Amino acid sequence: MKKIALLLSGMTALFLSGCVEGPIVPAGDPKSLEAVHAPVSLLDADLEDVIAVDVINVGKNPNGFLSVQANVRNRTDKDVVVQVQTLFYDENGLVLDSEPGNETPWTTVTLTTNGTMPYRSQALSHVARRFTIHVRRPLR
């Protein structure tokens, strides 16, 4: 019984020490309340089984802009192409830099078999307080 309790407490400690600040939201509307408050939102349903995104560093750069670095990892035995975008929000939850022609660009990433690639993004405004990393399949 003590071994089970020790094992459960160890697993709980590992779970709580993760880097992601909230749940990874499965496919859905990127403007939904769940997606706005989650650090990662997968916009295509099949991506849950294909990739993993681990937020490894969130902070401010020397100029005071919010900066995010994450690892995007291929969980399959095939090369995978995805697009990644970070939306930044102010303290009221409003998207920053969302005007046409000024929105955050999508970055196309090719992940090799079981490979990992770092993804970095930086806010363009001092008022950014939160972020969501969106991942989708490339548009055709």
pLDDT digit string (tens) for 97-130? 777 766 788 999 999 999 999 999 999 888 999 9
CATH number assigned to the domain comprising residue 32: 2.60.40.3230
Residue 103 placed within a domain: yes
d(CA 108, CA 37) in angstroms, rounded, equals 24
* β-strands 116-122, 66-74 pairing: antiparallel
pLDDT in tens, 2-29: 444 444 444 444 333 344 444 444 455 5
Q: Which residue range forms the structural domain that includes residue 80?
A: 20-136
Say if 109 falls within a structural domain: yes
52-57's contacts with Cβ under 8 Å and 24+ in sequence apart are 53/24, 53/119, 53/133, 53/135, 54/19, 54/20, 55/19, 55/20, 55/21, 55/133, 56/19
Global pTM?
0.70
In a domain, 51, yes or no: yes
Does residue 87 belong to any structural domain of this protein? yes
Q: How many domains would you assign to the chain?
A: 1
Per residue in 57-104, pLDDT (tens digit) is 899 999 999 999 999 999 999 999 999 999 999 888 888 877 776 678
Domain contains 73: yes
Euclidean distance between CA atoms 74 and 114, whole angstroms? 5
Predicted pLDDT of residue 18: 40
The answer to whether residue 110 is domain-embedded is yes
CA R_g for the chain: 17
2 domain residue, yes or no: no
Asked if the structure places residue 25 within a domain, the reply is: yes
